[in-house]
Amino acid sequence: MKDLAGRTAFVTGGANGIGLGLARVLLDQGCKVVIADIREESIEQALATLDNREVTGIRLDVASRETFAAAADEAEARMGPVSLLFNNAGINLFRPIDESSYEDWDWVLGVNLFGVINGVQTFVPRMKARGEGGHVVNTASMASFLASGVPGIYNCSKYAVRGLSESLRHSLHPHGIGVSVLCPGLVRSEIYRSDEIRPAAHAEGGNSTDPGFVEMLGQVHQIGMDPVEVAEKTIAAVKANRFYIFPHPEFKEELEEVFDQILAKFPDETPDPQRIAFEQGRRDRYAQERALLKGE
């Protein structure tokens, strides 16, 4: 997709951080942009900085299927058919898995994973039916490759988004719809303030992040990559139809170490011939699919 001009983009979590950076860059590309965010006041503030260009804002809780469908209808009524989808909304809860509650799981997975699922389920059938191509970008994280004790549920959600995206890429290729997964590191954003937007339904029985830790995270995020730089790299990848988007080069060496450690754990033994024969057919099919997607 070399030329994005004239297309309509829908960006979740679009009122700050990477989402707002994407809105700016997409507008510069000549796109019409819909900013979707759960914070009404943040949408208004974001729109005030965008020079009244072809952009609109819609309040959206991405965890809700019903409101996602209604937001999609409203967006397309205002700005035309959406063919660029950025499932970018995300939150974080800085707690280990064994100290998390069911309410914590429901909240974080509801936004980080089901927010992506709801975006795909809502918009992809429309893109396929129109037959005019398009592109889906799902925001994961370097935390979709690198896990630690904290943040546990966040790691789980981002690993899932990476797997979802890879599978979706294969299935949408025949329809001329590209898929990318964005895996940023530290970005100048407000994700550290996630507790402030935790819905009441997931508050009772849930855990909050220590206020002192939140304050420290706010200082750390100030040295993060500029969201516009992340967005520029993302849009360049969309134009080139690349799957993996790694804006932060400082992770390359660490990722090499992790994959080397994983490969080193495979046993040095001969597999069962019957299993080899079975797996060969699957390997051949997968290789053919990868060949079709080569260079993306």
Residue 255 sits in which domain range?
8-259
- For the beta carbon of residue 168, count every other beta carbon within 10 angstroms: 18
The answer to the question of residue 285 being in a domain is no
**How many structural domains compose the chain?**
1
Look at residue 99 and tell me if it is in a domain.
yes
Residue at 103 is within a domain? yes
Based on the residue annotation, tell me whether 154 is a catalytic residue of this protein: yes
pLDDT of residue 294: 75
Q: What is the pLDDT along the chain (296 residues), one digit of tens a residue?
A: 789 999 999 999 999 999 999 999 999 999 999 999 999 999 999 999 997 679 999 999 999 999 999 999 999 999 999 999 999 999 988 899 999 999 999 999 999 999 999 999 999 999 999 999 999 999 999 999 999 998 999 999 999 999 999 999 999 999 999 999 999 999 998 787 777 778 788 888 888 877 887 777 778 778 899 999 999 999 999 999 999 999 999 999 999 999 999 999 999 999 999 999 999 999 999 999 989 887 55
Does residue 140 fall inside a structural domain? yes
Active-site residue, selected from the candidate residues 154, 159, 244, 286: 154
Residue 269 in any domain: the answer is: no
pLDDT at 245: 98
Residues 85 and 63 sit within 8 Å (Cβ to Cβ) = no
60 occurs within a structural domain: yes
Within-domain flag for 1: no
Domain CATH for 232: 3.40.50.720
With respect to residue 283, please indicate whether it lies within any of the assigned structural domains: no
